[in-house]
């Protein structure tokens, strides 16, 4: 009986075609991502409050995430007219830098209608020009350390910009042709679609809104906030601590690496698969810049001393994580762009029914997500300079583990749907997902 029902459902889905079938499947709330409608309602309330809570905790003397009542900013701490001016000025600067005719222009992966979008690869130029402008401002005596006081109002402004942009993106998606909508973002449920994102690659002319937000204002802004925390510490104690320097250098390396390898973002899930809605806008503009660098604001109020030996061990851990992360991401990116390239042509692969092949040796034969493993080792190295007295500096590594385990499961589901038996064969060949012999 059950199998007859299943066969009927399968036949119905085959008749519908892939787009309709996915829409049909997604109309069932249990199959939607991030907890379906409930998640789409709760997450946009809960995460912005979490950002404000975490900033507040990091700046409080107790720095206790478990304290009751929870540490939240008072009403007068939420607003400073300077914050929206700085934020909008910063976003405006990066719009200009994006439009500068610097660097090469790359093709994205083929879209459902067979076309390819063009993307300017000039994010690293944007980082360098921002660094020069910042040095000039510092030379002129700009009080960058004031960012410490301005963190909460800046975060409030970024949250407001995220909500407003998401409303704009949702409304404009109704003018997009159906082939331009994300497969998972067009369920017909307004709350869920607003959250997950309807349109895959919203553009104003040639200006790609998702690609712009992915690596520029938020990611580079994170580096600037960290520098502001370093300046604040120097103001308070005469010079920045070794812990603060390590946190700044590690995270700046991560930001610079992402921008140096900007082209690789064109093959990631965010660009290829996910619509552009609240989830990504908020993540890019508010979550990343204001929670990924909490260690730095924590260190301003809670100085830590670090021996040279401990510092060397932490640097080695970050270096190992970075090596795994970079090598594995580059290997897959190279393989997807040109499987005949000498650096990947000798690797063992298995064929799939789609015509694409899967790597089963090299980094991708070690675990199924070596890039996540490297990223997590780095995340741990960013927290260790803050010592073991508080939980807060470990927020990022705990959150990131949950995020990547969940992301891995999403990716696995999508790959199984895409590659079927070939994916199962890959999983048998490479049994561990992220951590060898553990998970
Ligand atoms: P990945 O770069 O891991 O890409 C997953 C895709 O790779 C799959 O969908 C599949 O796509 C392809 N793939 C999987 N296995 C193989 C294989 N064996 N051979 C060839 N191709 C394979 O996805 P993410 O976008 O999740 O991650 C990119 C990087 O960004 C990671 O390093 C991650 O750690 C990092 N990241 C960082 C975040 C942060 O907040 N700091 C957040 C999210 C990610 P297909 O076959 O269609 O090409």
Instruction: Report the nearest atom of ligand 1 relative to the CA of 411.
Output: 9
Query: Each residue of 84-115: pLDDT tens digit?
Result: 999 999 999 999 999 999 999 999 988 988 89
**26's tokens:** 């997604």
**Phi, psi at 119, each rounded to 5°:** -130, 135
Nearest of 404, 189, 166, 175 to residue 275 by alpha carbon:
166
Which regions of 110-222 does DSSP assign to beta strands (E)? 118-121, 203-204, 207-208
Task: Give the closest residue to 255 by CA, choosing from 382, 95, 358.
Answer: 382
Ligand 1 neighbour 364 (Cβ under 6 A): yes
Residue of minimum CA distance from atom 11 in ligand 1: 415
State the Cα–Cα distance between residues 200 and 217, nearest whole angstrom: 20
Query: Which tens digits make up the pLDDT trace of 228-270?
Result: 999 999 999 999 999 999 999 999 999 999 999 999 899 888 9
Ligand 1 atom nearest the C-alpha of 426 is 18
Residue 105, beta-bridge partner list: 120
**Bridge partners of 104?**
121
**In this predicted structure, what is the pLDDT of residue 7?**
32
CA of 211 to the centre of ligand 1 (A): 16
Residue 73 — left, alpha, or beta (φ > 0 → left; ψ -120 to 50 → alpha)?
beta
Q: Write the residue with the smallest CA distance to atom 12 of ligand 1.
A: 332
pLDDT at 321: 98
């Amino acid at each position: 009986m059950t199998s007859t029902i299943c066969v009927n459902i399968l036949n119905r889905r085959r008749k519908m075609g892939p787009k309709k079938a996915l829409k049909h499947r997604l109309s069932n709330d249990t199959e939607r991502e991030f907890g379906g409608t409930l998640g789409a309602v709760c997450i946009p309330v809960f995460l912005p409050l979490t950002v404000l809570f975490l900033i507040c905790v990091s700046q409080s003397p107790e720095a206790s995430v478990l304290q009751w009542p929870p540490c939240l900013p008072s009403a007068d701490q939420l607003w400073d007219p300077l914050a929206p001016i700085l934020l909008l000025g910063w976003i405006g600067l990066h719009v200009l830098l994006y439009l500068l005719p610097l660097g090469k222009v790359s093709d994205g992966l083929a879209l459902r209608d067979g076309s390819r979008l063009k993307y300017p690869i000039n994010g690293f130029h944007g980082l360098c020009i921002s660094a020069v402008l910042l040095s000039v401002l510092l030379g002129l005596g700009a009080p960058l350390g004031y960012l410490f006081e301005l963190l909460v109002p800046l975060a409030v402004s970024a949250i407001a910009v995220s909500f407003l942009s998401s409303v704009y993106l949702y409304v404009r998606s109704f003018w997009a042709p159906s082939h331009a909508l994300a497969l998972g973002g067009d369920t017909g449920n307004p709350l869920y679609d607003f959250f997950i994102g309807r349109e895959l690659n919203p553009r104003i002319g040639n200006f790609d809104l998702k690609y712009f937000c992915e690596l520029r204002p938020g990611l580079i802004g994170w580096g600037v906030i960290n520098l502001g925390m370093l300046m604040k510490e120097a103001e308070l104690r005469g010079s920045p601590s070794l812990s603060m320097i390590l946190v700044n250098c590690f995270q700046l390396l991560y930001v610079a690496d992402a921008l140096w390898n900007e082209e690789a973002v064109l093959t990631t899930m965010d660009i290829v698969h996910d619509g552009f809605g609240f989830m990504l806008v908020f993540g890019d503009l508010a979550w990343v810049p204001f929670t990924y660098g909490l260690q730095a604001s924590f260190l301003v109020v809670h100085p830590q001393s670090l021996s040279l030996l401990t510092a060397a061990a932490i640097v080695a851990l970050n270096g190992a994580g970075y090596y795994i992360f970079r090598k594995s991401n580059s290997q897959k990116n190279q393989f997807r762009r040109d499987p005949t390239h000498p650096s990947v042509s000798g690797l063992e692969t298995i064929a799939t029914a789609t015509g694409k092949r899967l790597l089963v040796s090299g980094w991708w034969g070690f675990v199924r997500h070596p890039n996540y493993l490297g990223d997590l080792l780095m995340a741990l190295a960013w927290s260790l300079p803050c010592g073991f007295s508080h939980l807060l500096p470990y927020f990022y590594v705990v959150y990131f583990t949950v995020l990547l385990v969940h992301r891995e499961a999403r990716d696995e589901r999508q790959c199984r749907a895409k590659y079927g038996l070939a994916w199962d064969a890959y999983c048998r060949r490479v049994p561990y997902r992220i951590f060898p012999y553990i998970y």
